[in-house]
Amino acid sequence: MDDELPLTALAKPKKSSYDDDLPLANLASMGAAKMKGRPSAGKPAAAAGQKAKPVKKGDSSSTSSDSSSSGSSDSSSDSGGKKKAVNKKKRLRLIQKKKAAEEEDDNADNKIKKKDRSPKELVVVDLLIRWWYAMPDWPPADPAFYDAELEKKSLRRVSIQEWEWVPEIDDKGKHKVYELSQFKGVFRKADGEMVDIRPMDTCPSFNNFMRKDLPELYSMLVKAYEGQLAELKKSEYDESANEAIVSNGLTRIRHKAQQANEMAFARGAVAKKQKTE
């Protein structure tokens, strides 16, 4: 190497791939080809041996829509559960209101019925719940009474034990009957027909009591209250509260019975006077 060689000459000349006489159009195509393999700014290059996954249009929007749809479904399910709970409470309130209205109607009906009753009907109702303190047992317990009634109807009493072994009609033409154990005075024939020979004219019923005069009803009611009070005093339990109620009722009924007797006496005097005139 020559010692007098300039330093610039010592530097290795860079081989240019471009010819000075190369047209500009060719230079532009060559530059574009070099830039084609470089990664774009802001995006990491794909790993070696892996191809970059292409990004389709709408991927980001689909992801956001999926998240939004899941959020909306959760919110809709929550709102649906709240609506069901609200509707259930409304139904319960309506049922409670309906029951309360029905109870009010029933109470109103009962009050109207009670107001519509006449004084005589009120006495009869009061007597029906304690008639056994003022009257003998009904139906009668005397077997002779029923035997006489069966004789009038050409019937004969037969026990259950001998029912299958005796003829339906005896030599006197009487049909066999057996008495119902749960109903005194009620019998049944072989063909199933029921025969009721209880004395209905003395039955403690509403219709029979309504046929009586008011003074007689008050007299029977006083007797019933007195009998009930006597039974309460015999009780082995503490009946002080019931005794007070019955005692107050007895005082009230005695007062009304006296008024009814006075009114009946006055009406009788007027009727007697009219007959004499």
Dump pLDDT digits (tens) for 73-93. Answer: 555 566 667 777 778 888 888
Q: What is the pTM of this model?
A: 0.55
Position 176 in a domain: yes
Check: CB of residue 217 under 8 Å from CB of residue 256.
Answer: no
Helices vs strands, H then E, count in the chain: 8, 4
Q: Check residue 88 and give its pLDDT.
A: 81
Domain that holds residue 176: 139-201
Is the sign of the CA dihedral 51, 54, 60, 63 positive or negative? negative
Q: Do both 144 and 187 map to the same domain?
A: yes
pLDDT tens sequence across 160-201:
999 999 999 999 999 999 999 899 999 999 999 999 999 999
Domain boundary among the residues 149, 166, 201 is at 201
Residue 59 scores a pLDDT above 70: no
Position 171 in a domain: yes
Q: Which pair of tokens denotes residue 200?
A: 């209905």
Angstrom distance (rounded) from CA 26 to CA 32 = 10
Angstrom distance (rounded) from CA 155 to CA 243 = 48
In the chain, what percentage of residues exceed pLDDT 70? 67
Q: Do both 222 and 254 map to the same domain?
A: yes
Position 106 in a domain: no
- The structural domain count of the chain equals 2
Residue 210 scores a pLDDT above 50: yes
> If you average pLDDT over residues 2-27, what whole number do you get?
55
pLDDT band at 99 (very low <50, low <70, confident <90, very high): confident
Check: CB of residue 249 under 8 Å from CB of residue 225.
Answer: yes
Angstrom distance (rounded) from CA 268 to CA 205 = 28
Angstrom distance (rounded) from CA 111 to CA 79 = 48
Range from 13-17, 113-117, 219-223 carrying the lowest mean pLDDT: 13-17
Q: Do both 211 and 271 map to the same domain?
A: yes
Domain boundary among the residues 162, 178, 201 is at 201
Q: Do both 186 and 248 map to the same domain?
A: no
pLDDT band at 271 (very low <50, low <70, confident <90, very high): confident
pLDDT band at 46 (very low <50, low <70, confident <90, very high): very low
Angstrom distance (rounded) from CA 174 to CA 257 = 50
Q: Do both 264 and 218 map to the same domain?
A: yes
Q: Do both 167 and 148 map to the same domain?
A: yes
> If you average pLDDT over residues 142-164, what whole number do you get?
93
Position 264 in a domain: yes
Q: Check residue 29 and give its pLDDT.
A: 61
Residue 48 scores a pLDDT above 60: no
Q: Check residue 270 and give its pLDDT.
A: 82
Q: Do both 165 and 227 map to the same domain?
A: no
Position 148 in a domain: yes
Q: Of residues 162 and 50, which shows the higher confidence score?
A: 162
Q: Do both 154 and 185 map to the same domain?
A: yes
Residue 262 scores a pLDDT above 70: yes
Q: Do both 168 and 211 map to the same domain?
A: no
Treating both helix axes as pointing N-terminal to C-terminal, what angle do 214-234 and 240-276 enclose, rounded to 10 degrees? 160
Position 87 in a domain: no
Domain boundary among the residues 201, 231, 247 is at 201
Position 188 in a domain: yes
Position 21 in a domain: no
